[in-house]
Amino acid sequence: MSFRAPSINYPFSDEPVDLTETILDVSSEGIATLAMNRPEIKNAMTRRLAFEVAQLLVALDQDDDVRGVVLTGTGEAFCSGAYLKGGNLHEGGNYSHHESLHRHYPIPNQTRAVRTEPIGWWGPMVKTIFNYSKPIVAAVGGPAFGGGFGLACACDFRIVSDRGSFASIFIKRGFGPEVGTTFHLPRIVGFQKALELVMTGRTVNSEEALALGLADRVVPHESLQEAATDFMRELTVDKPLVALAVTRKIMYQSLEVNNLTAQLGMENGAGEITSNAPEDRAESFKSFVEKRPGKYVGQ
């Protein structure tokens, strides 16, 4: 796949911003591929990289021509975790309060209160994914370790090559789990298996990941990008964007609301929201009657 544009015009900025650690491509079908591009350090997460990923995710979520995002990494790794060399992690002072990160690399559409929550400098990126309105698929073609593991778990789905692997290596570095790992992982593989993985820090290969439900599909390495794009096409093509957004939202809300009545209310509310796109709703009935795929415009 050829990637485009070393810069992007953000909806919240008058000037294009240079992309130095990411590469972005958006296909004619509206499938965005966002690649972390620091292969020389196995896509370890620098603050600049975290900034670019978060900025691009927000911009893509606001773009009505984009139907979904495939998040991947160039080179041999998906993301090997935080970049611990060269003082990057502690740049600008105490990173646990991370005010300096947002002073240098502000995350858009967040209040100062949110920016200064004690959620680490990966936190805004993970929360952006959690609150997303479009599907996000991680295409994992190599190690997803530490923070990279947490980032992959934050995505809706994980398409993994036969060279992909996962490890919550925090414990081996003297840290507790970060990047939302303790939130997402138990919900993917179950509490007991999640507890084992975070307390041992052991590596899970692609076959075990598939057996655990951590990988949704495992494909030959050379087919990874094509498989991830095909999966995103399966998720998004011929489906109304509003219905996709509300479906994703109420499914994730069910993780936090353990109440049937409340969830029924959310489902009912979702039906009312989809009625706010009358053209798509009319097309859904028309295409059903005519026995053809729908052609939806998000209106």
3-state secondary structure 186-253: HHHHCHHHHHHHHHHCCEEEHHHHHHHCCCCEEECHHHHHHHHHHHHHHHHCCCCHHHHHHHHHHHHH
CA distance 294 to 48: 40
Render pLDDT for 155-190 as a digit per residue (tens, 0 to 9).
999 999 999 999 999 999 888 888 899 999 999 999
Q: Which of 88, 101, 4, 83 is closest to 40 using CA atoms?
A: 83
Residue type, 138: A
Quote the pLDDT of residue 194. Answer: 97
> Per DSSP, what are the bridge partners of residue 144?
79, 166
pLDDT of 40 > 50? The answer is: yes
pLDDT top residue among 274 and 236: 236
Q: Which two tokens stand for residue 93?
A: 């002072």
- Contact by Cβ (8 Å): 83, 45: yes
CA distance 63 to 214: 29
Quote the pLDDT of residue 284. Answer: 60
β-pairing verdict for 217-219 and 157-161: parallel
pLDDT of 36 > 90? The answer is: yes
CA distance 239 to 280: 9
Give this prediction's pTM.
Answer: 0.80
3-state secondary structure 246-279: HHHHHHHHCCCCCCHHHHHHHHHHHHHHHCCCHH
Q: What is the DSSP letter of 106?
A: P
Render pLDDT for 102-152 as a digit per residue (tens, 0 to 9).
444 444 444 444 445 555 667 788 888 999 999 999 999 999 999 999 999
Cβ-Cβ contacts under 8 Å for 269 (sequence gap 6 or more)? none
Residue type, 211: A
Strand order, beta sheet including 143-145: 143-145, 165-167, 203-205
Mean pLDDT within 240-264: 84
Render pLDDT for 5-23 as a digit per residue (tens, 0 to 9).
445 554 444 556 677 899 9
Quote the pLDDT of residue 4. Answer: 45
CA distance 91 to 234: 42
